Chain A
Amino acid sequence: QQQVKQSPQSLIVQKGGISIINCAYENTAFDYFPWYQQFPGKGPALLIAIRPDVSEKKEGRFTISFNKSAKQFSLHIMDSQPGDSATYFCAASIQTGANNLFFGTGTRLTVIP
């Protein structure tokens, strides 16, 4: 079964708008929550990551919000740009030294000018 559930499957946002992608998990042992960005024809690349000891992490226009009690986390892209159009994957892992990642199913974001 899917260890990390991601929604929506696709998202269309106007340039300058806010893109929001949500993920939920069940395994309370997860302690590392990265987001990966993937452009067509490329491999995924780490965008931003958070650990459960903080509720929010911001890097430029990208923010992760984390709700430990609800077992949910989300990616917010502020002032979305056409260059942000990509597929975004949330993931979770247990940092025992092996860091096997469990990925969500992905969200295809399209930012229209």
Chain B
Amino acid sequence: DAEITQSPRHKITETGRQVTLACHQTWNHNNMFWYRQDLGHGLRLIHYSYGVHDTNKGEVSDGYSVSRSNTEDLPLTLESAASSQTSVYFCASSDPGLAGTDTQYFGPGTRLTVL
């Protein structure tokens, strides 16, 4: 079955370290998204990609970067982790090119703690 996976599921790191969160989908979707979820803020868009080699900034992109070298993967990198980046991160994918499939499919999330 097609799915979207994230790794690691839990990560503890120290301030200033570089961290990369992985996202892998087997839906063959063109669009992929990274969100962070914080209490009182809901889900906020960090970065998104419409296809290979395409990346775009979302609402809260400062301190984060992504790259898209293939259809299946969109890793999220925190260049220098800060305590304010402690959050739960969700990856999602969609393929609006297919009629009636505006749905975004979410991964299980990565809980990141920056000490």
Residues of A near any B CB (own CB < 8 A): 6, 9, 32, 34, 36, 41-46, 49, 89, 93, 95, 97-106
Which residues does chain A contribute within 8 Å of B45, judged by CB atoms?
100-102
Given contacts A42-B108, A103-B43, contact A98 B102 (CB under 8 A): no
* 10 further contact pairs, Cβ within 8 A, besides A9-B40, A42-B109: A32-B102, A34-B103, A41-B109, A43-B106, A98-B31, A99-B31, A100-B58, A103-B42, A103-B44, A104-B42
The reply to whether A49 and B102 contact each other, CB–CB distance below 8 Å, is yes
Q: Given the complex of chains A and B, what is the CA–CA distance between A49 and B111 in angstroms?
A: 28
Main secondary structure of the interface of B (DSSP, over half): strand
Which residues does chain B contribute within 8 Å of A46, judged by CB atoms?
103-104
Out of A6, A42, A95, name the residue touching B102 (CB < 8 Å).
A95
Q: Is the interface on chain B under 10, 10 to 19, 20 to 34, or 35 or more residues?
A: 20 to 34
Main secondary structure of the interface of A (DSSP, over half): loop
The reply to whether A6 and B42 contact each other, CB–CB distance below 8 Å, is yes
- Flag the segment in B14-22, B63-71, B73-81, B89-97 that touches A: B89-97
> Measured between C-beta atoms, what is the minimum distance from B19 to chain A in Å?
20
Q: Which chain B residues (28-48) contact chain A, with CB distance < 8 Å?
A: 31, 33, 35, 40-45, 48
Which residues does chain A contribute within 8 Å of B43, judged by CB atoms?
44, 89, 101, 103
**Can you spell out 19 A-B residue pairs with CB atoms less than 8 angstroms apart?**
A6-B42, A9-B40, A36-B106, A41-B109, A43-B90, A43-B108, A45-B105, A45-B106, A46-B103, A49-B102, A98-B31, A98-B50, A99-B94, A99-B102, A101-B43, A101-B104, A103-B42, A105-B40, A105-B42
